[in-house]
Chain A
Amino acid sequence: MLKPLLRKEVKELLMERSILIGIIIVPLIMFPLIGALTSFGMRSAITYVAGVQEIGFIDQDNTDLSGKLLPNMLRDNGLKPISLDCHDRSECTRIAEDMNLKLVVIVPSGFSENFTSGLRSKVETIYILRSLSFSEITACEKLSSTLMESLKSLAEKLHGGKLNLEFLKHPADERSTIIYLGRVLRAPIEALASMLPTIIFGLPLVAMMTASYASSISATSIALEKESKTLELLLSLPVRRFMILLSKLLGTLIIVVLGTISFMIGFAIYGLMITSAFIPETNVSGVIQTSFTGSFITPSPIFMAVVLASIFLGMIMTTCLGILIGVLCADVRSSQQLVGAVVMPLTIFPFFILVFSSMENLPIGVKLALLLDPYTHFFLAIMKGFIGDLASAAFSLAVMVGATVAMLAIGSWLFMGERLITMRIGFKRKSI
């Protein structure tokens, strides 16, 4: 009984050009594009003017240059170096974390010898991130640029115009380590700043667009039955209403699975582009770039699994929401408008709030309202999955499952009676 209805659903949906473009072709183009842009962004990281900040300072060279002149120059540029007494990197990092420092500068032995000879020296930096917010990364980015400015000023002070311009321009290479939640990324902070919006916000946004399309498809599949006047015929067939609802859901989900596969392919290409973005390479913009593999930025299999689970659940959830909307609307245009009116606020608000703030900083009312929105959990699952907080990601996924079941129950209830025929929400233009 289900088979012929399902076959009809799939064929009707697959033959719709708008569905094909939105659910399959768009993700296949968008994700590789995001990957390419992220890769480009990381290679062309920009240095900004530094601000005033306390930083950790470890002098392993023990010379006047490293112990007095460089710290003074850092002070002149608005930084306040605090000497750290530590024996290894992990201890230094722990002390810096305790002191709430964002940056630790390590001057290795041999720095002064090279610097006074006009040879490019090396400094090591450790950036300690407490969040992956824009402000945190921008602050670190400014610290990095101030450090480089200080080194340039020091080179000019020591050598004036006697040495080659190349040295004065890049007196030292920065070997950076970024630490976030105990995980390590060896890459310039500027690169992280340029790629983070894409990973944290671009990815969920495109994923959301793909998932939202599911609501549009399912709403269309019901509204189209009303508009093309096939609904009455369908409802008079000797099949249970639940079977009709099931065929609608499964038909849409088959399309959605195709969308997920398309998403996976696009996402895999994106992952490959991210992973291959940092091939060991020196002297690019005065910094040393190191391999990305194994860092917290590389899409891990678990993160990929969380993203895919979120996408798939998000699609099922929005499919059910679309069914509800389709039942309420008189025609396709009304259903599309109602999808926009319902799905957009449900997705856009949590998206922007989570981009520019964090749940912790919100007033309790807003926080509760956000947590009641299942799409907040869609974003949270991806974000928590990204930082490896699997318990929170699993909780968000569970909320999405609950919301899906609730919507399915309401959809079934609407399908059982004559509401499918009698309920009508129209979006008509006012005549002038």
Chain B
Amino acid sequence: MKPVIVKDLHKSFGDKEVLKGVSFEVEEGEIFGLVGPNGAGKTTTLRILATILKPSRGDVWIMGYSVKDNPEKVRENISYLPEDAGVYKHLTGFEFLRMISEIYGVGRDGFDRGVEVCGLGEALSNPLSSYSRGMKRRILLASALMIQPKVAILDEPTSGLDVRHAVYIRKMIKKHVRDSGSSAIISSHNMLEVEYLCDRIAFIDDGRIIAEGRSSELKQIYNAENLEEVFTKIIGGV
């Protein structure tokens, strides 16, 4: 069973159709990258995968459960890191990780894993309001990975972070997928990040997947030196 099957996904907000038939599949142990310009439909797709939005048409199956029919079962199998997600400013890092571990029922092991993944040490005793942007992103990533989800959905995981934090987060994502054998779907604007992290990539534009494959395949098909060039050739420059 493929962990993620997205089939003919449509989503409209009022008269505006944001997704116009998105389809892709993610294999077990695979990191799948969703790449595209702003407003292409990346976040909407990931929100539907995370059961926050409902598809207007089409469906998504995660670990065999439909996001339409079994959103609660889907949520038991995923973790979701929204783009630009905030934190509960009055909770300490420890309290936040404990809340997540209790909700997912992963116990002390899960909590310890969270502490290890975020690597924030003594800062975990401090309120989250005192954390830098990078530290907040690290603890949010830890909360997403500590529960060992079957599918981690990570929307722009390193967006706006300095190199130090970005590198740390990429390493943690890769380590999690390698160690757990689970899958991850990542959206990103950073082509270097996508190339480093993702086993397969889908380019999305105007609500449609317009190219999909391994990084090497795409570069070969589009006769490009890197993914940025592929992006420019597929989607076009400004």
Contact = CB atoms under 8 A, between A and B. Distances in A.
B52 A12 contact: no
A4 B103 contact: yes
Interface stretch (A31-39, A61-69, A415-423): A415-423
B104 interface: yes
A230 interface: yes
Contacts of B104: 237-238
A235 B49 CA distance: 12
B40 interface: no
Contacts of A7: 99
Contacts of B47: 232, 421
Contacts of A233: 80-82, 85, 140
Contacts, number: 77
Contact of A8 (B53, B88, B140): B88
A157 interface: no
Contacts of A418: 52-54
B202 to A, nearest CB: 21
Contacts of B89: 12, 228
A12 B103 contact: no
B98 interface: yes
A87 interface: no
B187 interface: no
A240 B81 CA distance: 19
Given A15-B90, A232-B50, A4 B85 contact: no
B103 A236 contact: no
A236 B50 contact: yes
Given A4-B99, A4-B103, A5-B103, A228 B87 contact: yes
Contacts of A232: 47, 50, 52, 80, 82, 85
Nearest to B73: A238
Nearest to A228: B86
Contacts of B98: 4
B91 A8 contact: yes
B102 A3 contact: yes
A230 B85 contact: yes
A238 B104 CA distance: 7
Interface string A222-256: 00000011101101111110000000000000000
B51 interface: yes
Interface in B139-181: 140
Contacts of B72: 238, 240
Interface string B191-208: 000000000000000000
B13 A11 contact: no
Interface residues of B, number: 31
Q: Which of A240, A418, A421 has the most CB of B within 10 A?
A: A418
Given A237-B103, A418-B52, A12 B75 contact: no
Contacts of A417: 54
Interface residues of A, number: 24
Interface in A256-294: none
A1 interface: yes
B31 interface: no
B90 to A, nearest CB: 4
Contacts of A11: 90-91, 95
Interface in A56-109: none
Contact of B76 (A3, A229, A238, A422): A238
B71 to A, nearest CB: 9
Interface in A288-305: none
B75 A238 contact: yes
A237 to B, nearest CB: 5
Contacts of A228: 86-89
Contacts of B54: 417-418
B103 A230 contact: no
A5 B47 CA distance: 22
B80 A236 contact: yes
A158 B82 CA distance: 93
Given A228-B87, A233-B81, 6 more contacts: A4-B99, A8-B95, A11-B95, A15-B90, A229-B86, A237-B104
Interface of A: 1, 3-5, 7-8, 11-12, 15, 228-230, 232-233, 235-240, 417-418, 421-422
17 contacts: A1-B102, A1-B103, A4-B103, A7-B99, A12-B89, A228-B89, A230-B85, A232-B52, A233-B140, A235-B51, A236-B50, A236-B51, A236-B78, A238-B104, A417-B54, A418-B53, A422-B13
Interface of B: 13, 47, 50-54, 72, 75-76, 78-82, 84-91, 95, 98-100, 102-104, 140
Q: What 5 A-B pairs come out closest when comparing CB atoms?
A: A228-B86, A236-B80, A229-B86, A15-B90, A232-B82
